[in-house]
Amino acid sequence: MKQYKPMLARSVQAPFTSEEWIFEIKWDGIRVISYVSEELSIRSRNQKELIHNFPELSELKDLAMDTVLDGEIIVMKDGKADFAALIRRSQSTKAADIDYLARKFPATYILFDILEKDGTKLLDIPLIERKRILENSVREGKFVVRSMFIEETGTDYYRAALEKGVEGIMAKKKQSLYEPGKRSNDWLKIKQAKTCDCVIFGYTKGEGNRGETFGSLILGLYDTGRPVYIGKVGTGFSREVMEKLKRFLDEYKGDEETLQGVERDREITWLRAGVVCEVGYQAITEDGKLRIPVFQKIREDKDPLECTIDQIRPALSDYTAMRDFTRTPEPPALVEKDKGRSFVVQEHHARRLHYDLRLEKDGVLKSWAVPKGIPEISGERRLAVQVEDHPLEYGKFEGIIPEGQYGAGTVNIWDRGLYEPIAWGENKIEFIAKGEKLEGRYVLVKFKKAGEKNWLLFKGSD
């Protein structure tokens, strides 16, 4: 059988509801593809063979003959996935330890896709049909189950999942084909906490009580094959974890600098790009770094080359996910370079009339919904709710979004022109508008007490 790389998902900020999508639980486990024939092989994303570590999964041979299956291995403890116990099992090498852990922490293999059946490839068959084939081809066992999914009601499903203590959900287009190794807008992961799989390119020299370990880890992601520096993480470690991690990382020591653009405030030990860790963070700064990063865990099951920049730069995936471009006249997200400093205000007759302010930045339109319109008198303030980034093409859009689609209603251009930025920070944006109706200084200020997405829009004195 051919060896496959798993299809990957992009991250989006919020759940949504759509009849074009299905939704299932996002498990905190090890992603694996299994090859079931006379011999059974279960391989992680970095092609590590795991059947010896999880012998109970050998029941697959009796449940799903002549198939290639995609899924997630988890270990449950007290009703929740226990990632630490799972990693302990995946790292065991002694037969006695493997046997003991299999009895103490039995694994569950949750299957959510099928890539081959009886030698026939199924990659070009829509997901919803592959789900039907999976159900008819694979019986459930003691340790092997099929992933359950629901259709359409993603927002309610997400809330219910969080109440059960699950980290998030997956959203998948019903008509999506299986694209091995590709991070696709057709598969989305929606998590309450923001996390990123990062490559560790080095560590800084520790001081004080960290003198024998390290100060912080140097993190990077790949952008079109080139490593890009995204910051350092120095919190989230226990003393025991730091000591073990230092010994593990030193096996990857290199003699040369492996990542450019790193601040040299402390002595750095450079590492070959072989170790992946999961890092939580609050936001992305304007210069593309992780804000308030916290170390979570090492991910030995992930290949460093899969750790790409689009995890934190989602390339309009929120905008794309919310729309069916076979039904709405809105423009799809094409690849365009940053053209300049345009702005547009669109009058949007949806369920309630509101105005959408969009400012061009970094090749997209940063967007806010302003329920009561743009202030035109100095000192006026209006609530502005930040929404998903829109493609540059949207700045020319006028038309009717049909019923059943996100934002259904009529869109007209109210004003457009250029703007001159004065300041653009995480909590305050100031600019001078030069439009047909709007002229002068405007200020957007984060209104944190009212919610993460809420801002106040002011017309300033000129």
d(CA 145, CA 138): 9
Three-state helix/strand/coil letters over the chain: CCCCCCCEEEEECCCCCEEEEEEEECCCCEEEEEEECCCEEEEECCCCECCCCCHHHHHHHHHCCCEEEEEEEEEEECCEECHHHHHHHHHCCCHHHHHHHHHHCCEEEEEEEEEEECCEECCCCCHHHHHHHHHHHCCCCCCEEECCEEEECHHHHHHHHHHCCCCEEEEEECCCCCCCCCEEEEEEEEECCEEEEEEEEEEECCCHHHCCCCCCEEEEEEECCEEEEEEEECCCCCHHHHHHHHHHHHHHECCCCCCCCCCCCCCEEEECCCCEEEEEECEECCCCCEECCEEEEECCCCCHHHCEHHHCCCCCHHHHHCCCCCCCCCCCCCCCCCCCCEEEEEEEECCCEEEEEEEEECCEEEEEEECCCCCCCCCCEEEEEEEEEEEHHHHHCCEEECCCCCCCEEEEEEEEEEEEEEEECCCEEEEEEEECCCEEEEEEEECHHHCCCEEEEEECCC
Is residue 172 within 8 A of residue 101, CB to CB? The reply is no
Residue with tokens 């829109």: 390
Find, among 1, 10, 4, the residue nearest to 113 by Cα: 4
Catalytic residue among 26, 173, 361, 446: 26
What length is written for the chain? Answer: 462
Active site residue 26: yes
d(CA 219, CA 196): 10
Find, among 219, 359, 362, the residue nearest to 299 by Cα: 219
Residues with catalytic annotation? 26
